[in-house]
Structure 1
Amino acid sequence: MKVVIVEDELAASENLAFLLKNLEGSIEILAVLDSVKASIAYFSKNNEAELVFMDIHLADGLSFEIFDSIKIEAPIIFTTAYDQYSLQAFKVNSIDYLLKPIDEDELASSLEQYKGQFKGKGLYGDQVTGLLNLMNTKKTAYKSMYLVPHRDELIPLKTENMAYLYIDTGIVKAVTNDNQTYIMEQNLEDLESDLDPSEFFRLNRQFIVRRDVISGIKQYFNGKLIVNVIPPSPEKIVVSRAKSPEFKNWMNQ
């Protein structure tokens, strides 16, 4: 299978290439493209790709801009960090997606889906238009407040007052800007979906952090990052090498 990767983060493209080779040794990576401009130039002259993996946010714009200039005949699997609402939109448009950081089992499932369903189907104008419209439709129902138990009552906790949420021995806790801790009834996955992704980020399996409370980011071994927050977290917050590019992009927005 001949594959093209469109991804502007070197670590992310190398990780995807490694996973692909690990799953199917016969896969040939024809090119790794890091921008809209480079992609237009490449696909204008080459149509050998049988499958394209494409990040949405590239260094010089959204990858959807590529389709304003050229038509890519190969099916496309998007790699994305968008929330669940947007991911459902991809499925509606019969376009597959992989949520970053890419999981090997999910990648294997996408490859099987490609073989059984998408082979020979390109991404056409009406699909791109529908996808763009859905991506431009903002989710307005993000949570602004939760009722949380405190002693013998329920008190309103505004999300703007949350510094971070984390799992402590199986219990989800919210730490506020003034360093108060409350037990949450929701699990971390539901909280991740409910909170505005422009303000909150899932750093790892244990922590969701609000942008405003990040006080520093340190380089760690093997490409990992350590995130410092105020108030200080009860334990070290480590971002994996695979998720670091996504986190950096989010911080740069």
Structure 2
Amino acid sequence: MNILIIEDEIKAARSLENLISKLRPESKIMAKIQSVEGAIDYLSDSATPDLIFMDIQLSDGISFDIFKSVKVVCPVIFCTAFGEYAMEAIKENGIDYLLKPFSETDLKNAFEKVDNFKNFFQKTTENNLVELIQKISGEDNKKKSFLVFKNNKYMTVKTEDIAFIYINYTSPTMVTFKGEHFDLSQSLDQLASQLSGKDFFRLNRQYLISFSAVKEVEHYFARKLYVKLTVPTDDKLLIGKEKTAQFLSWLEDR
């Protein structure tokens, strides 16, 4: 199997290469690339790999920009420290989504998904492909509710009732459309990975918002976006220019 690694952290790329060599010694690493531009050049001029391991936040931008310039026909395993890109990854040949730091077992399971995908693809029709990707990605298994504790009582909050989750000092707080606040014990990264990427978006390191809570979006200085929600927030919600295209695409993809 010919494998391409797109990862801007040299140590992470080397570690991944070593794990691949251990688990799949018959595989060949075609190249290790650190940037969007470098990946576009390579994929435009070189032989198509059988599999790509791709970080999402690269040295010169977001790796999804690669797919806007070249056609990628092989499976892609995305490796990232952030959970909010899952839905976008599925659209771009994403067969698995590994959250850093991932283990040897995680990588082994990812390779098994690739094998199962190839075996299935040989005997399936195009109409079954979307269903298969949804099963592989686990999007159908995202949380529908959270168990929370407040005023000495346990209760459940449906995900459709969540307006946003934000970091309040050091821990996340869930805010509902009714203005209720619930403290959570998990990290924002963990929460983002449990929620549907179609319904929730990670604006930044502090805020995870619901699509239903978005009231309006305005242009801001330095090519940023200013997001206003139907439920008031303590902070002004700004999106940097490197993430604006992804956010607008998320808003449009209904």
Please state whether the residue corresponding to 1:87 is helix, strand or coil.
strand
Tell me the equivalent position of 1:86.
96
Does the residue aligned with 1:140 lie in a helix, a strand or coil? helix
Aligned: 1:178 with 2:178: yes
Displacement of 1:222 after TM fit?
Answer: 2.0
Q: Is the 8 A contact 2:39 2:66 kept in 1?
A: no
Aligned to 2:133: 135
Once the 2 structures are TM-superposed, how far is the Cα of residue 195 of structure 1 from its aligned partner?
Answer: 0.8
Question: Which residue of the partner structure matches residue 249 of structure 1?
Answer: 249
Q: Residue 193 of structure 2: SS of its match in structure 1? A: helix
Over the residues paired in the alignment, what is the CA RMSD in angstroms?
4.5
Match for 1:55: what amino acid?
Answer: F
Question: Are the structure 2 counterparts of residues 140 and 57 from structure 1 closer, same or farther at C-alpha, using a change threshold of 3 Å?
Answer: farther
Question: What is the TM-score of this pair, normalised by structure 2?
Answer: 0.56
> Gapped runs of 5+ residues in structure 1?
6-18, 32-42, 96-124
Contact 1:148-1:185 within 8 A present in 2 as well: no
Cα deviation per residue 1:50-75 (whole Å; 9 max; x = unaligned)? 9998739967xx955xx4xxxx8xx9
Q: Could you tell me how far 1:212 is from its partner in structure 2?
A: 0.6
Q: Flag the structure with more relative contact order, 1 or 2, with Cα contacts below 8 A and sequence separation at least 6.
A: 1
Which residue of structure 1 lines up, in the alignment, with residue 20 of structure 2? none
Match of 2:64 among 49, 55, 58: 55
Match of 1:233, SS?
A: coil
Percent identity over the alignment? 23
Assess, with a 3 A threshold, how the Cα gap between structure 1 residues 21 and 210 changes in structure 2: closer, same or farther.
closer
Per-residue deviation at 1:251? 0.8
Q: Is contact 2:224–2:244 with CA below 8 Å preserved after alignment?
A: yes
* Counterpart for residue 106 of structure 1: none
Spell out, residue by residue over 1:183-221, the C-alpha distance to the aligned partner (whole angstroms, 9 max, x if none): 112211111011111111111100010001100111122
Residue of structure 1 in register with 2:169 after alignment: 169
What residue in structure 2 maps to residue 199 of structure 1?
A: 199
Deviation at 1:135, TM superposition (A): 2.6
> Which residue does 1:20 correspond to in 2?
35
Could you tell me how far apart the structure 1 residues matched to 2:249 and 2:177 are? 24
Alignment TM-score, normalising by the size of structure 1: 0.56
Q: Is the 8 A contact 1:30 1:49 kept in 2?
A: no
CA gap 1:179/1:133 in 2 versus in 1, 3 angstroms: closer
Q: Distance in 1 between matches of 2:207 and 2:246?
A: 15
Structure 1 residue 157 displacement after superposition:
1.3
Pair 1:88–1:78, CA change in 2 (3 A): closer
Q: Which amino acid aligns with 1:87?
A: Y
Alpha carbons 1:218, 1:226 under 8 Å: kept:
yes
| 1:148 is aligned to 2:158 | no
- Alignment size in residue pairs: 183
- C-alpha spacing 1:94/1:226, structure 2 compared with 1 (3 Å): farther
What is the Cα deviation at residue 128 of structure 1? 11
| Kept after mapping to 1: 8 A contact 2:77/2:96 | no
Task: Please give the alpha-carbon distance, in whole angstroms, between the structure 2 residues aligned to 1:55 and 1:88.
Answer: 16
Letter in 2 for 1:170: T
Q: Rate the CA distance shift 1:172–1:30 in 2: closer, same or farther, 3 A.
A: closer
The answer as to whether partners of 1:55 and 1:78 remain within 8 angstroms in 2 is no
Query: What corresponds to 1:227 in structure 2?
Result: 227
| Structure 1 CA distance for aligned equivalents of residues 143 and 98 of structure 2 | 19
Q: What SS class does the counterpart of residue 154 from structure 1 fall into?
A: strand
